[in-house]
Homo-oligomer: A and B are copies of this chain.
Amino acid sequence: MIVAYQGEPGAFSEEAARSFFGPKAHLLPVQSFKDVFAFAAKHGSHHGVVPIENSVYGSVHQNYDLLLKHKLSIVGEVKLRVQLHLMTLPGVSLKEVRSIYSHPQALGQCEEFLRRLKRVSVVAFYDTAGAAKMIREKSRRDAAAIASARAASAYGLEILRRNVESNHHNYTRFIVLSSKRSNHKVGEKTSLVFAVKNVPGALFKALAVFALREINMLKIESRPLIGRPWEYLFYLDVEGSTADERMQQALDHLGELATLVRILGSYPFGKTIKS
């Protein structure tokens, strides 16, 4: 089994993939989320892991769009507490650091810490772990990276300042993708996307199909459908599996009301791990 993730070894996605698949899985770093989906779609034993939601930044709409484009199922999830650390080659002090490298979003999450530093340039890099790798490969004693503890140990860097992120309640939820259908029998939650016409009561009727059958909603989010200004897409997570009769009936009922329904998968609740 091979599991693709976006980034370099040491990336948060790698950590999520490792925690889900255990020490024996072969993990494959690729360049973009698109590549993760394409890889997972290729072969039944291939999987992919991508972030879908962050507690500070909200949903990763790009990955919801890719879910709609590809015929993949969500077969699992992992919640990761994101911790960002400033790291350098061993023995380097903060005074020697002239440049700090990391992914744009990680830099955004450390804005308060970075603003306090003087005479340091903040450089965007394609990946948090990639920044750590570059410092090791180029033996840069004038530079630091902001990345995970895993990246520090992967590239032999020393953590100079721990938890430089502004918001410590920073969680990212990752989903596990497969071209095989999810195993409904172990499903504890079901993710789906649907669209309804923008007429009064349309969303309410759509949600009624679950509420009237006492199926609990876990997450809901609306999003305007690009190019169709009067229609909305809804991302919904509900409790239970598509193997349940009540759930099947609710989804059939939803099919009567919605202009589009796509079941993304039924899967067990994910564990929360610390990075």
Q: Smallest CB–CB gap between A243 and chain B, Å?
A: 19
Nearest to A64 among chain B residues (CB) is B58
Q: Assuming the A-B contacts A208-B204, A222-B221, are A104 and B108 also in contact, with contact meaning beta carbons closer than 8 angstroms in the complex?
A: yes
B222–A200 contact, CB under 8 A?
A: no
Asked whether B123 lies within 8 Å of A123 as measured between CB atoms, the reply is yes
Q: Which residue of B lies closest to A214 (CB)?
A: B200
- Does A30 count as interface, using CB distance less than 8 angstroms? no
- Other than A57-B61, A58-B61, give 15 A-B pairs with Cβ distance below 8 A: A104-B124, A105-B108, A115-B126, A169-B227, A200-B216, A200-B239, A201-B211, A201-B214, A203-B220, A204-B207, A204-B208, A204-B210, A204-B217, A220-B220, A220-B222
Which residue, of A115, A207, A239, has the highest number of chain B Cβ atoms within 10 A?
A: A207
Residue-wise, chain A 114-128 has the 8 Å CB interface mask toward B (1 for contact) of 010000011111100
- A55-B61, A201-B211, A214-B201 given; A221·B224 CB < 8 A: no
A215 within 8 A of B: yes
The bracket for how many chain A residues form the interface is 35 or more
A210 to B207, CA, bound (A): 13
CA of A2 to CA of B205, assembled, Å = 45
Query: Which residues from chain B contact A198 at a C-beta distance below 8 Å?
Result: 216
Is A219 in the interface zone, CB < 8 Å from B? yes
Give chain B residues whose Cβ lies under 8 Å from the Cβ of A124: 104, 107, 122-124
Given A104-B104, A203-B217, are A226 and B55 neighbors across the interface (CB < 8 Å)? yes
CA distance A199 to B207 in the complex (A): 15
Q: Which residues of B contact A126 (CB under 8 A)?
A: 111, 115
List of B residues within 8 angstroms of A107 by Cβ: 104, 124
- Please measure, in the bound complex, the distance between the C-alpha atom of A120 and the C-alpha atom of B205, giving whole angstroms: 53
Contact status A211-B217, CB under 8 Å: no
A93 at the interface (CB under 8 A from B): no
A124 to B205, CA, bound (A): 46
CA distance A223 to B59 in the complex (A): 10
Q: In whole angstroms, what is the CA distance A200 to B203 when docked?
A: 17
* Residues of chain B within 8 A of A199, CB atoms compared: 216
| B-chain residues with CB within 8 Å of residue A123 when the two chains form the complex | 121-124
Q: A105 to chain B: which residues have CB within 8 Å? A: 104-105, 108
- Cβ proximity bits A153-188 to B, threshold 8 Å, 1 near / 0 not: 000000000000000010000000000000000000
How close is A194's CB to chain B, nearest CB, in angstroms?
A: 13
- Does A260 lie at the interface of the complex (its beta carbon under 8 Å from any beta carbon of B)? no
Q: Which residues of B contact A58 (CB under 8 A)?
A: 57-61, 221
